[in-house]
Structure 1
Amino acid sequence: MSKKAEIYIMYFCAGLTLCVMYGVQPIQPVFMEILGISKFEASLFTTSILVPLAIASIVYGYILEKFSIKKILVFAFFAFGVLELMFAFCNDYYFLLNIRGLQGLIAPAALTGIMSYISTNTSKENIASAIGVYIGITILGGFIGRFLSGLSYDIFNSWRVFFAILGVVLLMSAFMLTKISSKVSVSPVKPKLGDIFKILKFRSNALIVAYIFCLFFSFTAVLNFLPFELNKLGGNFSGTKTGLIYFGYFIGVLVAFNSNRIVSFFGNAPKAMFFGAIVFIFGLFFLEFDSFWIIFCAMLVVCFGNFIGHSIASGYINRINDTHKGIANGLYVSIYYLGGSLGSVVPSFIYSGYGWKIFLISIGILVVISLIFSGLLSVKR
């Protein structure tokens, strides 16, 4: 198999991984009704797969170095497939949640292996564009998984069909991965606690990770609880409409591929991050309206703001850390997913207790805090 074909398989598997991670999100209201669980319990389907990603860059480096990428990926996608099929035919909430937790433990290994394989098998002059395509594919995978799970629910009147099909495709991908080269191994970063504190001693690093924690906490909160609110609008759940709400992810692809141009337009990264937070807040205001299409347009704005903030912040922390780039990037990813995992569950108490309006106000306050962090980045010391 040619290297080009192997890279395409990696991109395909990256998209599948994001389908596994987020396919459940738009139909969480369905699980709430069918399983007789609360919003908090339904939201844990997303939380359970994000938590391992928050600790992966710190812990997984010591595990993954012992195996070749091929072995890691074949095992990961075979396990993904088996667990997805089990998920599709299970009826018990706690068993379903445990399956999601196991998939969460596998996801960091899969994503680390895929990125390592791409970077190792790509020439230095093309590695930036290859990683850019990888980021774009993960964004698209997040949308496709959400949209297709909602669409299949409307077509088949069953949440199981999407996950059964996804399970079969995952097993097929595991077979394809047996054909790739086995010579490549993972060289993960293995940070020590002292290294992390050294990174955070630099004011700019601390402000960047604080910024992205608040921003992704807020973004995940909106994505995770908006389906419950949409369920109230028409009286009946529409998986297709709910999945369509995530269409703004396509904007994320455009932003990811044009992050350097965005920074050039604003003059520097902190100003671009500041702008992203402002756009996010502007979009939040329109999520209060009781109209699907206004909410749809508002989510385009929210996604635009979030992806500007994320794409610029991730590039900025890499650019300002010359000597400890790997550790700084790993810390960024951990804080990013820590914000996401908490954002997927903590706001459920506000939403369930005080309603959508107070929920949006609380999220808006957190985005304002991220706005302050990005503003402080622009202040020279």
Structure 2
Amino acid sequence: MYDVVVIGGGPSGATAAEDLARSGQKVAMIDRAGRIKPCGGAVPPRLIEDFLIPDAQIVARINTARMISPTQRCVDIPIENGYVGMVDREHFDVFLRDRAAQAGATCLTGTFLRFERENNAKHVVYRDKNSGEEVRLQTKLIIGADGARSNVAKAEVPGGDKIPYVIAYHEIIEAPERSLRYDPMRCDVIYDGAISPDFYGWVFPHGKSASVGMGTGIEGVDLKKATADLRVASGLENCRTIRREGAPIPLRPMDRWDNGRDVILAGDAAGVVAPSSGEGIYYAMVGGRVAATAASAFLKTGRIKDLQLARKLFMREHKSVFKVLGAMQNAYYRSDERRERFVSLCHDVDVQKLTFEAYMNKRLVKARPMAHLKIGLKNLAHLTRLVSATRV
């Protein structure tokens, strides 16, 4: 008998399993070993601090972000009073799973099949990777942290089969030497409809390697060709390819994260990837933590409404950021003309400072009302075409 069975061993599932084990719950985590999610790998300082990530997991510290427009205009944004940490999911996810096991979680390798309820007993059924046999685990509660196309969400939570998403694809390449087009201390974000008609492309350094990729929610776009074109445009076409990966990334948080009975969703399964930026690691780990908090409360009190704590705690802190980023994506990602204006807006020093202060601290900065007013007026001028798309 387990108190909780966690489905999925990515950053969200591993965080939930670790937190529950440290709080004294008997927890099992089921993960499909060998799968590496396509991910730029960016993590803010707050994640490193909140989740006690050791320096060995940070493969690069980025001090500049370069925004590239459809006309190839570049805006370099210095990251003041901080940095963007980079992790490699191939190693980072394993580290988190190992840490959950060290905390006392039982880590199992296999594929979730179904959730059975009979005579007040609840069982998670999964297929063991080594034996190929079905295994049943009795549990009181399940946390679904099994990605944007979550089988747990589809089976158990209303709306779980209708999560909107983009498809992300990237190639991990052997990093070249520093050059005019590649800087191991700089993240490049490419807002160009030729690379992605509705999202963006990226070149993110990972120390000895780099992630080059793009995302789109439009069917028919050739992701591999777009990434190949991006590599040529960035002077990276001759770098050795280490691996290729693709996966869906959700676009907005689900309206419900629990089934009102015995299931809580976390991470991508709950839709917690930031709009506009596509940032997911930090929000996944927060999602795992609040899911563990809700699970612990439910196990202690037996109150069904405590399952709702996961979403309530998450949205209390991050709803405003998601709302602003969603509005930004809807306003600026719809055409190259809008993307050109967005990069122009990024020239503004106040935009740069407020953006990265919010990124590093994971909250909207309200300390400078005049800066917010100026940004709002410039934003309005661009959206109403009162100024040229190339005007700063």
Q: Same fold (TM over 0.5)?
A: no
TM-score where L is the length of structure 2: 0.28
Instruction: Write 1 or 2 for the structure with the bigger share of strand.
Output: 2
Larger radius of gyration between Structure 1 and Structure 2: 2
Instruction: Write 1 or 2 for the structure with the bigger share of helix.
Output: 1
Q: Could you say which structure has the greater relative contact order, defined with CA pairs below 8 angstroms and 6 or more residues apart? A: 1
